[in-house]
Structure 1
Amino acid sequence: MKLNLLNTNTGSSNRLAWIDYARGIAIILVLYRHIFEGISRTGLPTTGYDYLEHANIVFYSFRMPLFFILSGVFIGKSLAKRSMEKLLSNKFSILLYPYLLWSVLQVTLQILLSKYVNADRSIADYGYIILFPRRIDQFWYLYALFNVTVLYMITRQKLKLHIWQQLTLGTILYFLSSYVSVKHIDLGFLYDIMHYYIFFALGDLASSRILNQANFGRFASWKTFFFLLPIFAVGQYYFLNKDLEMSNNMYVETYQPLLFAVIALSGCAFMFNISFLLQRYDKVKILRMVGFHSLYIYVSHVLVASATRMVLMKGLGITNIPVLLIVCLIMAVVVPILMYKLAMRYGAWWLYSLEKPATGKEKLQVQNQ
């Protein structure tokens, strides 16, 4: 049987295109940051490439809040379909399990290949996987999303907190996360729960409107685009220049949390608008495919980008930063998708989830129930 590795089909015809477009945008921004910082750590001179660093700072202002809002949008819908216990099991299988598996794999490879990579790893890093996930490169997000989701489900289903109580709780936690950052108190994984809970709750708040197809026309409106564009531009301009002024690309996020929330939310709103426009015109389908595979790209992109960078620099002698960035970015998107499709084809689904994917017949049975 021929395997079409570049098929852009994203599954069910009922699947919302805008969500994949939004995830596609977010994951590419994540890849850009990780790849650019990986190149920067090699010691290559960056003189003349300030614009690449500036883009890296701007993208940072909204990409992670966007991921948490997107997840929060669907929490109510998920709980309506499954019991809390089943949904917890599902989140363990698709978030915590791949986090643990790929974190251990990456740390192990970085230790074994310490002479060739720019990550300084030791046995102690295995303990950081649970306690201090941000010290394990990019993987902290999966752990944070799992923890936030679990806590939100408990407060929503067991403690029966209303959405406004959730927002109040999230706001308190958010400002506490700023306080501990200012005081340089490292709470490990607890910080990410505190910092992103509010964005998850905002996603839940917005879900009834954003999932209502009657509103899609407004979300995909050019009037909305031109209304949000200047707000987005002003927010990003301030974020960039303030962080450059303070020589700290987390200055606004840490020391001006209220302003950061406004900038982040305006950025998320603008990305939603772009995603709905792409859905409206059914354009840039490859971006939708990238969004559909965002989780699988996320877990392996650093390994792929690092390997690509080593081949380019040490094997081919290429040191041009834009070339390295573009090639590594392309490879970090394409190769993980190919890896995932091959894994599904040859029964290695366990690399990405504890849940075995349903066969076509099983999917049809579920749809007919």
Structure 2
Amino acid sequence: MKRIEWIDFGKGLTIFLVFLGHVNLGLLQSGRFEVYNRGFLFIIELLYIFHIPVFFALSGYFFQPLADGKSYWHYVKKKTLVLGIPYLFYSVIQFALQRAGGSAVRDPARLSDLLAIYKMPLGVSWYLYVLWAIYLVLGLLSIFIKNKKWLFAFTAIGFAAALLFPLPIYLLQKLLLWSFFFMLGSFLREINYRFNSWKTASCVFLPCFFSLAAFMWFWQKQGFTHYTSYDRPGLWGLIFMVSVLLAFALYPMLDKTKFAPYFVAKGKDSLAIYILHAPIISVIRIVLFKLGIEALWLHLLFGIAGGWFVISLAVSIFKKIPLLTFFLYPQKIIGSGKRE
């Protein structure tokens, strides 16, 4: 399938926002900078209501209904390969780092947690786990429901249920919540949700921007001490839709800017960056604390600038060494199709 440049740009910019969110989240949860907690929470909330909903929508942009059971079987194998091996790789790395970090890490590591990743993912790998499940469930449904608009309507009902009547079953709740955004990306492509100029995009951009600003103002006025949940967001989760509409109006316009090629390149490696970013920024933060560095500005400097550099370097190394390439880009080694 031919790559669409603004989609790669969107993935590149969005994964950078994911990275920024986790840098701030790590500093907040470290408990070392409590005087800045409200500032951390504001930044985290602003990023979190945007990046993951947009990522699911970008992932669903190319989704097409499947023809029959045979095509579904090939589809399952491909998605399991592309997402499953990085998922296992991250889980092992996360477990190893937690064990090595001991009391310096926020969550203690237990072997039982690693052995239970078939039902409960570790850390940020939940996105891969849920995305894989979405591909499998919607792929199967698409054999019987060919019309993507009907599929979208089906997921919209599930989304409403997840907001109003959240389920205690982890994967089912996540599927109901995030399948909607996956299909929203596909639906926006179906209706040709595109703008050719800033002037035409402003009819969506400005209302979305002011909606997000109003949400953040109201959220802050409520004195919230937490950010919107990705499990049970309640009616607050409606703001996720605004973020997707904003991104899909904005990204094709930003793709024409001078800095676009950089993020286009990062977008092609967004899955690898997602897998590597959390362990790397955690290690950087722990090392700084062990060295006795408590200045916030140094943590931000090394965490953001240093972290992004190390992640980019690590991705380059993984791409050059076949054994490492297998863990992040298994389809390149086994030859089971192109990267999503």
TM tier, shorter chain? Answer: 0.7 to 0.9
1:137 aligns with 2:113: no
Structure 2 Cα separation of the partners of residues 85 and 282 of structure 1: 42
- Secondary structure at the counterpart of residue 146 of structure 1: helix
- C-alpha offsets along residues 310-335 of structure 1, whole Å, 9 cap, x if unaligned? 222322x3323343134213344332
Deviations 1:120-143 (A, max 9, x none): 22223224422222xx22110001
The 1-side partners of 2:55 and 2:67 are apart by 19
TM-aligned CA deviation for residue 301 of structure 1: 0.8
SS of match in other structure, 1:15: coil
Aligned to 1:254: 233
Question: 2:205·2:250 contact (CA, 8 Å) conserved in 1?
Answer: no
In structure 1, give the amino acid aligned to 2:294. T
Offset at residue 207 of structure 1 (A): 2.1
Of 176, 182, 198, the residue aligned with 2:161 is: 176
- Structure 1 residue 148 corresponds to structure 2 residue 134: yes
2:41 equivalent in structure 1? 53
In the alignment, is residue 164 of structure 1 matched against residue 149 of structure 2?
A: yes
* TM-score, normalization by structure 2: 0.86
The match for 1:279 is 255
- 1:325 alignment partner, SS class: helix
Aligned in 2, Cα 1:138/1:251: closer, same or farther, shift over 3 Å?
closer
Q: 2:16 aligns with which of 25, 28, 33?
A: 28
Residues 15, 267 of structure 2: 8 Å contact kept: yes
Q: Structure 1 residue 294 and structure 2 residue 270: aligned?
A: yes
Q: Which amino acid aligns with 2:133?
A: N
In the alignment, is residue 66 of structure 1 matched against residue 60 of structure 2? no
Measure how far apart 1:304 and its partner are: 0.6
For 2:128 and 2:60, the matched residues in 1 are separated by: 14
Q: 1:229/1:169 Cα in 2 relative to 1: closer, same or farther (>3 Å)? A: closer
CA–CA distance in 2 between the matches of 1:357 and 1:123? Answer: 29
Cα distance in structure 1, aligned partners of 2:103 and 2:209: 43
Against the structure 1 CA distance between its residues 173 and 329, is the aligned structure 2 distance closer, same or farther, given a 3 Å change threshold? same
| Cα displacement string for residues 145-198 of structure 1 (whole angstroms, at most 9, x for unaligned residues) | 0100111110002x23532331232122112222344xxx53112221110111
Give the direction of change, closer, same or farther, for the CA distance of 1:39–1:271 in structure 2 (3 Å limit): same
Tell me the distance in 2 between the aligned counterparts of 1:164 and 1:16. Answer: 22
Unmatched tracts of structure 2, length 5 or more: none
Distance across 2 between alignment mates of 1:279 and 1:170: 29
Residue 193 of structure 1 aligns with an amino acid whose one-letter code is: L
How far did 1:23 drift?
Answer: 0.7
Question: Would you identify which runs of 4 or more consecutive aligned residues in structure 1 move more than 4 Å?
Answer: 77-80
CA distance in 1, matches of 2:204, 2:334: 41
Moved more, 38-47 or 66-75: 38-47
Cα distance between partner residues in 2 of 1:290 and 1:186: 36
1:56 to partner: Cα distance: 1.2
Q: Are the counterparts in 2 of residues 18 and 279 from structure 1 also a CA contact under 8 Å?
A: yes
Letter in 1 for 2:176: M
Give yes or no for contact 2:94–2:123 (8 Å, CA) kept in 1: no
2:203 maps to which of 227, 234, 240: 227
Q: Which residue of 1 aligns with 2:176?
A: 194
C-alpha distance 177-118 of structure 1, shift in aligned 2 (>3 A): same
Aligned to 1:6: none
Alpha-carbon contact 1:163-1:205 (below 8 Å) kept: yes
Q: Is the 8 A contact 1:24 1:294 kept in 2?
A: yes
SS at match of 1:356: helix
Match of 1:83 in 2: 71
1:96 aligns with 2:84: yes
CA contact (8 A) 2:205 2:249 kept: no
Q: CA deviation at 1:49?
A: 6.3
Q: CA deviation at 1:110?
A: 0.6
What amino acid maps onto 2:28 in structure 1? Answer: S
* Superposed displacement of residue 347, structure 1: 1.4
**Equivalent residues of 1:174, 1:195 under 8 A apart:** yes
8 A contact 1:72–1:204 mirrored in 2:
yes
Q: 2:4 aligns with which of 4, 16, 22?
A: 16
2:104/2:286 contact within 8 Å kept? yes
- Aligned position for 1:3: none
Aligned residues: 332
Label 1:195 to 1:53 Cα distance change in 2 as closer, same or farther (>3 A). same
Q: Does 1:338 align with 2:313?
A: yes
CA–CA separation in structure 1 for the residues paired with 2:229 and 2:98: 30
Distance 1:180 1:31 in 2: 31
TM-score between both structures, scaled by the size of structure 1: 0.80
Change (3 A) 1:141 1:320: same
Letter in 1 for 2:283: A
